[in-house]
């Protein structure tokens, strides 16, 4: 698989996550937030193990360790996002969560001594500016404790993306995703059972929302992300995955008829430009090197 194909898969994942906001909202009408996390990860883990059994794949010790690390980081990110969302507004939470697009190149540089390309750093800030326009155009920006939790969430998402790039180098992506989902499921159980009560009745809409959230927005999306990160770098993946805010706004406009301002349209344009920059980075790099030599 080429890097360009892997990047396109990351865009597909972002689109799935953008549409997944509708399913999550439906699930939250019946379940509390941590129960939703427990349901999505336990359900996704079960689907993942079925795939493992059908494909007769072997779970190695290396995959078990690497996948578990990614799974714990993923759950911590979702947990801090949930706490943060309870203490701040949705737009600000989405914006601060997306700060991982800027954190990834520098954390990767610190851990692996791999200096990011200048165009990747530039594109990440362009993308972050676009996300700010989409998320904060109506509510403004006021920093609170909930915002701090959202920033911690961004840090863990950045670490999870980096850990996946490391985990998929010598391991099967399906196995890594299975272990990742299983680890997140195990960690999610005590939070949901201790902090929340399970509903006594569940309607059909909530059940269908949970099924979509489990099979499409969690298992399929993270399976595709895990596969893609075997062939692309963490910096590019983090930027492309952050376009979920753009897709969420697009789906909101067409499906829910949500009103969009000029600021939000400008934000979408900035995100689109950042995607073009990342997609063309491999072709631009040799051109820049040639100009530098001359």
Helices 145-167, 100-112: crossing angle, 10 deg rounding: 50
Structure tokens at 279: 């997609």
| C-beta contacts of 115-119 below 8 A and 24+ residues apart | 116/235, 117/235, 117/281, 117/285, 119/277, 119/278, 119/281, 119/284, 119/285, 119/288
Q: Cβ(127)–Cβ(242) under 8 Å? A: yes
pTM of the model: 0.80
In DSSP notation, 138-188 reads TT-----HHHHHHHHHHHHHHHHHHHHHHHTSSS-HHHHHHHHHHHHHHHH
Helices 234-241, 221-228: crossing angle, 10 deg rounding: 150
Q: What is the pLDDT of residue 86?
A: 66
Q: What is the pLDDT of residue 243?
A: 81
Q: What is the pLDDT of residue 109?
A: 83
Dihedrals φ, ψ of 191, to 5°?
-60, -45
Q: What separation in angstroms does the CA of 38 have from each of 34, 153, 223?
A: 6, 17, 18
Per-residue pLDDT of the chain (294 residues; tens, 9 = 90+): 888 899 899 999 988 887 776 777 778 788 888 898 999 999 999 999 999 999 999 999 999 999 999 999 999 988 888 777 667 666 666 777 777 777 888 888 888 777 777 777 888 888 888 877 876 655 555 567 877 888 898 899 889 989 988 888 888 999 999 999 999 999 999 989 998 888 888 888 889 989 998 999 899 999 999 999 989 888 888 888 888 777 877 777 777 676 767 887 888 788 888 877 776 665 555 544 554 555
Question: DSSP character for 1?
Answer: -
Give 116's contacts (C-beta < 8 A, 6+ positions apart): 105, 106, 108, 109, 235
Structure tokens at 137: 């155009």
Question: DSSP character for 200?
Answer: S
Give the three-state DSSP class for 89.
Answer: coil
Q: What is the pLDDT of residue 156?
A: 93
Structure tokens at 4: 């360009």
Q: What is the pLDDT of residue 283?
A: 57
Q: What is the pLDDT of residue 88?
A: 64
């Amino acid at each position: 698989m080429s890097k360009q194909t892997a990047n396109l898969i990351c865009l597909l994942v972002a689109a799935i996550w953008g549409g997944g906001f509708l399913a999550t909202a439906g699930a939250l009408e019946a379940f509390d937030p941590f129960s939703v996390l427990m349901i999505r990860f336990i359900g996704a883990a079960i689907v993942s193990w079925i795939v493992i059994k059908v494909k007769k794949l072997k779970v190695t010790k290396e995959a078990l360790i690497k996948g578990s690390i990614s799974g714990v980081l993923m759950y911590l990110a979702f947990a801090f996002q949930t706490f943060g969302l309870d203490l701040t507004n949705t737009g600000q939470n989405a914006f601060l969560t997306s700060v991982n697009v800027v954190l990834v190149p520098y954390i990767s540089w610190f851990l692996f001594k791999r200096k990011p390309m200048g165009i990747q750093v530039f594109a990440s800030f362009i993308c972050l500016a676009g996300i700010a326009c989409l998320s904060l155009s109506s509510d403004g920006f006021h920093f609170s404790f909930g915002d701090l939790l959202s920033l911690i969430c961004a840090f863990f998402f950045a670490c999870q993306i980096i850990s996946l790039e490391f985990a998929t180098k010598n391991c099967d992506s399906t196995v890594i995703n299975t272990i990742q989902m299983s680890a997140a499921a195990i960690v999610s159980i005590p939070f949901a059972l201790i902090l929340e009560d399970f509903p006594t009745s569940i309607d059909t809409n909530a059940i269908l929302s949970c099924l979509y959230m489990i099979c499409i927005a969690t298992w399929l999306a993270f399976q595709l992300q895990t596969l893609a990160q075997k062939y692309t770098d963490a910096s590019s993946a983090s930027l492309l995955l952050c376009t979920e805010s753009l897709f969420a706004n697009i789906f909101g406009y067409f499906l829910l008829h949500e009103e969009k301002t000029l600021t939000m349209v400008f934000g979408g344009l900035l995100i689109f430009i950042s995607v073009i920059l990342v997609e063309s980075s491999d072709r631009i790099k040799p051109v820049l090197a040639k100009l530098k030599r001359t």
